[in-house]
Structure 1
Amino acid sequence: MASEYVYVTESVFQHIYSLYHQRVYHAAQKVLRDPQLAEDAAQETFIKAYRNLDKLEDVSKAGAWLATIASRTAIDMLRKEGKRKFISIELASWELEQHYLEHIVIEEVELRETKRELEQDIRKLKPKLQEVLTLRYVKDMKESEIAANLSLTKSTVKTRLYRAKQLIKAEREYRDMIMVRET
Structure 2
Amino acid sequence: MQVLEQRFGRLFQQYRDRVYRTAFYVVKDPHLAQDVTQETFLKAYRNIDSVREDGREGAWLTTIATHAAIDAVRKRNCWNGIPMENPYLTVLVGTTESDVEEEVGKRLEREHLWKEITKMKREYREVLILKLHSGLKDGEIACLLKVSVGTIKSRVHRAKRILRKASGCWHG
User: TM (normalized to structure 2)?
Assistant: 0.51
**Where does the alignment leave 5 or more consecutive residues of structure 2 unmatched?**
81-110, 118-124, 141-172
Q: Which has the higher helix share?
A: 1
Q: What is the match of residue 93 of structure 2?
A: none
- The residue number in structure 2 matching 1:78 is 73
Q: Percent identity?
A: 38
Give per-residue Cα distances to partners, 1:59-96, cap 9 Å, x unaligned. Answer: 41000100110010000111112225862379747962
- Where does structure 1 lack aligned partners over 5 or more consecutive residues? 1-5, 108-183
Aligned to 1:87: 112
Larger Rg: 1
- Equivalent pair of 2:28/2:79 in contact (CA under 8 Å): no
Q: CA deviation at 1:103?
A: 3.8
Q: Distance in 2 between matches of 1:34 and 1:90?
A: 15
Q: 1:99 aligns with which of 122, 125, 133?
A: 133
Structure 1 moving runs of 4+ over 3 Å: 88-95
Q: What is the one-letter code of the residue matched to 1:20? A: Y
Corresponding pairs, count: 100
What corresponds to 1:19 in structure 2?
A: 14
Q: For 1:30-45, list aligned pairs within 5 A.
A: 30-45=25-40
**Quick one: distance in 2 between partners of 1:29 and 1:14?**
22
Identify which of structures 1 and 2 has the higher relative contact order when contacts are C-alpha pairs closer than 8 Å and 6+ apart.
2
Query: Is 1:46 the equivalent of 2:41?
Result: yes
